[in-house]
Chain A
Amino acid sequence: MGSITLEHVNKSFGEVEIIPDISLEIEDGEFVVFVGPSGCGKSTLLRLIAGLEDTTSGHIKLDGEDVTGAPPARRGLAMVFQSYALYPHMSVRDNIAFPLKMAKMPQAEIDKKVEYAARTLNLGSYLDRRPRALSGGQRQRVAIGRAIVREPKAFLFDEPLSNLDAALRVNMRLEITELHQQLKTTMIYVTHDQVEAMTMADRIVVLNAGNVEQFGSPLELYKRPANRFVAGFIGSPKMNFVDGPEAEKHNAHSIGVRPEHFTLSTTAGAGQWAGTVNVAEQLGSDTFLHVEVEGLGLMTVRTDGEQTFRHGDKVYLTPDANRIYRFDAAGLALQD
């Protein structure tokens, strides 16, 4: 079991309030991602759950039991750090065995569990090496191995993939998702990368300046963002926003259109936004056009990779009328 409840958690460092007031309900077995720009308090929130930081006020409960004041060693959670944080003076085997040794497990059982973890994570041939003799991806696997052997109530991941190169990151992302499907243990995963958040999470917590902007499934966040911040943060490339008279036509303070929700044409027609291509980024499968629209500013448009555009090309954009997001003056989403 591994349900985690936060009740009015507040964290301040001296005068500086990092997390004003957060309440969250994370269910057993869920994969929850904390996402937000750097400095939004997502890592602090994870460290509060881990017990590595003390809460200033509020309560943290694990399976209904209040652990607010409990040290990390007593919480039964496992954490994977961005820096891997392996013990450099121990072999891979001893690194993975360390939490079991701390739990005073009999040696025979430790050996069995270490072997199992090593097999699961393809670390069999590295067991007697020191961490410094491993590559970044292998180190990350050891860190995960060390986390899974003790069968924790929940796993906490603190930006575990940000030190890996792009290709490896995609691989490890899949491996962690598979691991979750296999273990069915609660996982909380911190990242600033919204692609990781979208692809891995059951539910996403979008944080901004220490506040929860929205908590929901990836598609919920994509389709029904609660406010302008979430709308701009979730989705890649980012949503385009338009203020002023164009927004007022839709009875809103501002409107948002995702790059993939435009119809592009090279001939003029009614209800279209006329613009000039500034930069065309060709990815093969897609092309991202950065279009300077007269009177509205720079827009990003996603189109298929079949057509070729050049700097200075004249284009006409039609926003999909059913997929225009409307926001009020405070940035909150307006319901239709």
Chain B
Amino acid sequence: MARNASVQTKVGFTVLAWTVALLLFSPILWTIVTAFKTEAEAIATPPTFLPLTFTLDNFGDVQDRSDYIKHAWNSILVSVGSTLLGLVIAIPAAWSMAFAPTKRTKDILMWMLSTKMMPAVGVLIPIYLIFRDLRLLDTVHGLTIIMTLINLPIIIWMLYTYFKEIPVDILEAARMDGAELWNEIVHVLVPMAIPGIASTLLLNVILAWNEAFWTITLTSGRAGTLTAFISSFSSPQGLFLAKLSAASLLAIAPILLLGWFSQKQLVRGLTFGAVK
């Protein structure tokens, strides 16, 4: 009977898991189907699930009203640019914390993490003023800098955890073999940490892609990313649910696909070092 019970438990858990997953996914699913409805059908009561009249007009309207390609390009520049810049700063930082720690290393790591606990709006005014005075408002490089800075603690933390797993003997062997610091990092540390660096890169591209607070407050037309693009559709001219859905779908599609294809790497990356 034990076997039957376990089959029942398995079925029960499967149903439960699917229900939870569908519930969590339902807003995105609703957005996807709404994007293909007419505006009238999108606000109809009672609502329809599948579109009665399937239309692609919303996508055309969205592209006509505000340039999707430009925003998408900005999103790519900012998310990839800030992640690469972040890695350039974080790899040496994580190296020193993992392999040449001092008494204060743990405190510095905690302090860096604590900056993530502070509400972003708390530093809105100083950062806005700095950006205004340095003429960084509504520029892609300005946005890349701020994105690098807000994600740097996470990048350093993740790399630090990966680097801790690398035996220090191997780096010492490189030093004995005549490698100066630069060669030690480029030829030995980085190749050994590639899986960890890849996970960090992916996660940070996603974080930067989805970031809304700073992109919306620090950009207007020129440097706007896809999050600013979506927000421009919840406009004072009225709520156009179908167009908003189309815009949202366009904005999340690339990152959804990236996440889908890289989920194995991401899960491995996020749980790395948790066991063992």
A87 in complex: contacting residue of B170, B176, B178, CB < 8 Å: B170
Q: What residues of B have a CB within 8 angstroms of the CB of A150 in the complex?
A: 177-178
Interface string of B176-214 (1 = CB under 8 A from A): 111110010001100110000000000000000000000
Within 8 A of A (CB), among B142-179: 167, 169-170, 172-179
> How distant is the Cα of A98 from the Cα of B175 in the complex, in angstroms?
11
A49 to chain B, nearest CB (A): 11
B162 to chain A, nearest CB (A): 14
Chain B at the A interface: SS class: helix
- Which of A28-36, A59-67, A73-81, A167-175 faces chain B? A73-81
Q: Are A72 and B176 in contact (CB under 8 A)?
A: yes
A84 to chain B, nearest CB (A): 8
Chain B CB within 8 A of A71 CB: yes
> How distant is the Cα of A71 from the Cα of B192 in the complex, in angstroms?
23
A80 to chain B, nearest CB (A): 9
Chain B CB within 8 A of A249 CB: no
Chain B CB within 8 A of A83 CB: yes
Q: Which of A50, A51, A79, A86 has the most CB of B within 10 A?
A: A79
Q: What residues of B have a CB within 8 angstroms of the CB of A73 in the complex?
A: 175-180
Chain B CB within 8 A of A99 CB: yes
Q: What residues of A have a CB within 8 angstroms of the CB of B167 in the complex?
A: 83, 85
B70 to chain A, nearest CB (A): 41
Q: Are A98 and B169 in contact (CB under 8 A)?
A: no
Q: Which residue of A lies closest to B166 (CB)?
A: A88
Q: Are B179 and A102 in contact (CB under 8 A)?
A: yes
Chain B CB within 8 A of A146 CB: yes
Q: What residues of B have a CB within 8 angstroms of the CB of A79 in the complex?
A: 172-173, 176
B100 to chain A, nearest CB (A): 11
Q: Are A98 and B192 in contact (CB under 8 A)?
A: no
Q: What residues of A have a CB within 8 angstroms of the CB of B192 in the complex?
A: 87-89
Q: What residues of A have a CB within 8 angstroms of the CB of B174 in the complex?
A: 87, 98
Q: Which residue of A lies closest to B183 (CB)?
A: A102
Q: Are A87 and B172 in contact (CB under 8 A)?
A: no
Q: Which residue of A lies closest to B177 (CB)?
A: A99
> How distant is the Cα of A146 from the Cα of B177 in the complex, in angstroms?
8
B177 to chain A, nearest CB (A): 4
20 contacts across the A-B interface (CB closer than 8 A): A71-B175, A71-B180, A72-B172, A73-B175, A73-B180, A77-B176, A79-B176, A81-B173, A85-B169, A85-B173, A86-B173, A87-B173, A88-B170, A88-B192, A98-B187, A102-B178, A146-B173, A146-B177, A150-B178, A156-B176
B residues lining the A interface (CB < 8 Å):
167, 169-170, 172-180, 183, 187-188, 191-192
Known A-B contacts: A71-B180, A73-B176, A150-B178. Give 20 more (CB < 8 A).
A71-B175, A72-B172, A73-B175, A73-B177, A73-B178, A73-B180, A78-B177, A79-B172, A79-B173, A81-B169, A81-B172, A83-B167, A85-B167, A87-B170, A87-B188, A89-B192, A98-B174, A98-B187, A102-B178, A103-B178
